[in-house]
Structure 1
Amino acid sequence: MSTDTLPGTDFLPKPLAGPTPTVRTPSPRGARAGRNLTIVIGVALALGAVLTAFPFLWMLFSSFKPQSEAIDFPPTLLPQTPTLDNYLRLFTELDFGRYLVNTVIVVLIGGVGLLLMAMAGYAFAKFEFRGRRWMFFLVLATMMIPVQVTMIPTYLILNGFKLTNTLVGIALPTLVSGFSIFLFRQFMLTVPTEMLEAARLDGAGEFRTFWQIVLPMSKPILAVQAVLAFIGGWNSFLWPLIIASDQNLYTLSVGLALLNQQLAVNPGLQMAGATLMIVPILLVFIVFQRYVVQGFALSGLK
């Protein structure tokens, strides 16, 4: 029995009559066009990736070519007689092992700056103190000054402390960066203040709150900063060349430039040195790629 025949149901709203809604399904022609467009875009992106990676592949394959094959014309992409002699010469005759150790030490010393910049970003994001805005403005202002302008004053300061011609002197300017402090500050603004207050109410000190709560939540931005600090220290060329007069303190980038000046034309050896410079950076970026993208997204940067 319907509600229209029941007594006392006159107050119920009557269903409205109207056309029955229809669900549109994509036509086979539209679906086929969408698949074709996806294939075309995929092929175009693949070709772009191949063109972008071709110089790197050429460098990598040429590093395994002997000198006679590296200067052949017309050149070939794949080595006909692959050899590791170029890499062996780098470490046995050209002292690239020492340059590699120096570069790793400079990168590790610069990694200490991550903790310092994280503390500064945390202070700017979560603490209220007099002059905070002006101090943060000064930090941002340092991003507008070219590094070349500050090299001479930095050199004079380090020379006054007797730190020139040392690995510590090479690494000290990389400890703090205005851009890195800005990134840490932007990320730590997203940390819930209520969580920090709860930790303080439970008796946690400021350092313990920072170490056990803020830092574990800041893994994405720490990964971003680790990659940036590694790339900056690994590729540093001009500053180590200025401050280090002893060849035993040269980094890989300075050693590679020295290699190109000292030797006759040997493309295979030069490509081996360039590969030694680039491959570690690619490996670090591949390992931290997911965190890098997440960190930039959460920091509000596009």
Structure 2
Amino acid sequence: MLTGSMVALVTPFTPQGNVDYALLAELVEFHIQQGTDAIVSVGTTGESTTLTHDEHVDVVRATVEVVAGRIKVLAGNGSNATAEAVQLTERIAPLGIDGFLNVSPYYNKPSPKGLFEHYSHIAAVSDLPQLLYNVPGRTCSDLVPEIVAQLAHIPNIVGIKEATGKVERVQQIKQLCGPDFIVLSGDDPTACEFMLAGGDGVISVTANLAPKLMKQLVVAARRGDRVGAEAADAPMRVLHDILFIEANPIPVKWAMARLGWLAEVYRLPLCSPELESKKTIEKALEAAGLLNSRSTDES
């Protein structure tokens, strides 16, 4: 099952702007040690839009090799061009991943029929499980529950990452698609309530900084323990709020650089955050107890 606490992992770069595969391996090991259930490789947070296709495939391959079957690995395979997403899916499928995270086409605003046809074509390329990814703030289209229900009839479309922040979508999708259809939060600020409402886990940006707490939140929320879930979520709330102060993954990469975990390197058009944003992020890191510590044991 593709459920639980999943990190939307950043892709670290060297000071020269190349993918830092040694540091990538360290980050993957860190998450395994901290209890993360799955790595989501080369999604939005992994800067999929600025990697070449070869780099995209190589980052997924490297992640699978380091994980070595110890936890799940999902790979981003989305694009605003169906043919391009099909090509990525064909290249990534043999690498040993556990499934795909397939974002809705961005920029070109497809109709409901276009969304259905897009996902149907990609699902036909591989038998591996596919998670739909609905993030209207980036794609300008909403993969509404009724379209999800149509796509759920395709055997290897097994769930959705729902990043609207609409907690009511959990039960709407479950009612239309069945209780076994996986519904994951893609919105850290509402993830606690989302899982308490029946969500099956989270694909999280905040988990880059606090994976142990995120795992505690997921475990408590999925067993219906509101007190425990809210207690785990409380130290992270300040992080949820600031990690989207500018476009993801700019804030989380700056935060990780500030903590000394990686070099602050982006690829254009992504760039360093504004000074006021940096100050806000730094205050949040201090409030969360993360400054001067790599381990989330102190977070």
Q: Same fold (TM over 0.5)?
A: no
Greater RCO structure (CA 8 Å; 6+ sep): 1
With the length of structure 2 as denominator, give the TM-score of the two structures: 0.23
For the pair shown, the structure with the greater C-alpha radius of gyration is: 1
With the length of structure 1 as denominator, give the TM-score of the two structures: 0.23
Q: Which has the larger strand fraction?
A: 2
